[in-house]
């Protein structure tokens, strides 16, 4: 499985011809590694409706035909655009030929640019025989550890560290300890001035206090599991 960082909180998981695209905020993202009209998507997954996550999901879904998975209120808004959606709520799992995605809690807020209010989520994903946990936008909270304990261990955690809108890099060290992923890839930092942080310091703090390895990806870079 290839994990390609597209900038901010956007990732593409790919295995052969299958691509799971997460939070594709590309247009208006100063660190975007691709444009909305060039990314592939078999399925699009959204953590929540803020513009830096919903991003280009609708135009990419229309171009590629990929369905969008989002919490029910957000999915309903997207469906009005003529896009195929799956609309689980927290705790729900949606299965695909490529694996499954489960919506898990995240402590944050969520209103779309169109005004739809919903509950934000994290995404627990089974893809290509690996478990990937995109924490979404969240503060530190103790139930992060429940997600890691529910079944197979987490192979890759995609973790916000930028502070201001989410947990900062110090709280994220504790989050990394709770999640206990084999690999942690930081995101949601350095895109804008309020979320600038020191990812190398995060890496060294996590690796000195947990058994996780931190892989820092520049936008456009790929980690292979
Ligand atoms: Ni947000
Ligand atoms: Mn965000």
pLDDT digits (tens, 9 = 90+) for 200-209: 999 999 999 9
User: What is the model's pLDDT at position 107?
Assistant: 98
Instruction: Among the bound ligands, name the one nearest to the CA of residue 189.
Output: 2
From ligand 1's centre to the CA of 112, what distance in Å? 10
From ligand 2's centre to the CA of 165, what distance in Å? 7
From ligand 2's centre to the CA of 93, what distance in Å? 23
Instruction: Among the bound ligands, name the one nearest to the CA of residue 50.
Output: 1
From ligand 1's centre to the CA of 22, what distance in Å? 14
Q: Can you give the pTM of this predicted structure?
A: 0.98
| Domain ranges across the chain | 2-218
Query: Per-residue pLDDT for 180 more than 90?
Result: yes
Structure confidence at residue 222 as a pLDDT band (50, 70, 90) = very high
Instruction: Among the bound ligands, name the one nearest to the CA of residue 9.
Output: 2
From ligand 2's centre to the CA of 44, what distance in Å? 17
pLDDT one-digit tens code per residue, 119-163 = 999 999 999 999 999 999 999 999 999 998 888 899 999 999 999
From ligand 2's centre to the CA of 7, what distance in Å? 12
User: What is the model's pLDDT at position 148?
Assistant: 86
User: What is the model's pLDDT at position 103?
Assistant: 98
Average pLDDT estimate for 3-16: 98
Tokens describing residue 213: 């390895």
Instruction: Among the bound ligands, name the one nearest to the CA of residue 23.
Output: 2
From ligand 1's centre to the CA of 222, what distance in Å? 24
pLDDT one-digit tens code per residue, 32-77 = 999 999 999 999 999 999 999 999 999 999 999 999 999 999 999 9
Tell me whether residue 192 is exposed, middle or buried, using C-beta atoms within 10 angstroms of its C-beta: 0 to 12, 13 to 18, 19 or more.
Answer: middle
Distance CA 68, CA 22 (A): 10
Instruction: Among the bound ligands, name the one nearest to the CA of residue 188.
Output: 2
Structure confidence at residue 10 as a pLDDT band (50, 70, 90) = very high
Beta strands at 93-96 and 2-7: parallel, antiparallel or unpaired: unpaired
pLDDT one-digit tens code per residue, 75-125 = 999 999 999 999 999 999 999 999 999 999 999 999 999 999 999 999 999
Structure confidence at residue 26 as a pLDDT band (50, 70, 90) = very high
User: What is the model's pLDDT at position 150?
Assistant: 83
From ligand 1's centre to the CA of 110, what distance in Å? 6
The answer to whether domain 2-218 has CATH 3.60.15.10 is yes
Closest among 101, 129, 135 to 20, alpha carbons compared: 101
From ligand 2's centre to the CA of 161, what distance in Å? 11
Instruction: Among the bound ligands, name the one nearest to the CA of residue 49.
Output: 1
From ligand 2's centre to the CA of 189, what distance in Å? 10
Distance CA 133, CA 154 (A): 7
Q: Across all residues in the chain, what is the average pLDDT?
A: 97
Outline where DSSP puts E strands in 97-151: 99-105, 121-127, 130-134
Query: Per-residue pLDDT for 21 more than 90?
Result: yes
Closest among 222, 220, 170 to 199, alpha carbons compared: 170
User: What is the model's pLDDT at position 136?
Assistant: 98
């Amino acid at each position: 499985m290839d994990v390609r960082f597209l900038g901010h909180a956007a990732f593409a998981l790919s295995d052969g011809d299958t691509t799971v695209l997460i939070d594709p905020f590309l247009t208006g993202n100063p660190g975007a590694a691709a444009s909305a009209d060039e990314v592939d998507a078999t399925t699009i997954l959204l953590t929540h409706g803020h513009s830096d996550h919903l991003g280009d999901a609708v135009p990419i879904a229309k171009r590629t035909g990929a369905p969008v998975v989002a919490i029910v209120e957000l999915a309903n808004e997207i469906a009005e655009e003529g896009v195929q959606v799956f609309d689980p709520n927290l705790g729900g799992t949606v299965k695909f030929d490529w694996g499954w995605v489960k919506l898990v809690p995240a402590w944050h807020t969520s209103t779309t640019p169109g005004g739809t209010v919903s509950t934000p989520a994290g995404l627990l994903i089974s893809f290509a025989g690996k478990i990937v946990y995109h924490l979404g936008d969240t503060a530190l909270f103790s139930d992060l550890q429940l997600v890691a304990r529910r079944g197979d261990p987490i192979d890759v955690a995609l973790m916000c560290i930028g502070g201001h809108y989410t947990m900062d890099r110090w709280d994220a060290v504790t989050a990394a300890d709770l999640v206990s992923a084999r690999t942690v890839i930081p995101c949601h930092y350095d895109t804008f001035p309020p979320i600038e942080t020191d990812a190398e310091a995060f890496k060294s703090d996590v690796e000195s206090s947990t058994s996780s390895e931190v892989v820092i990806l520049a936008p456009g870079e790929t980690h292979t599991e």
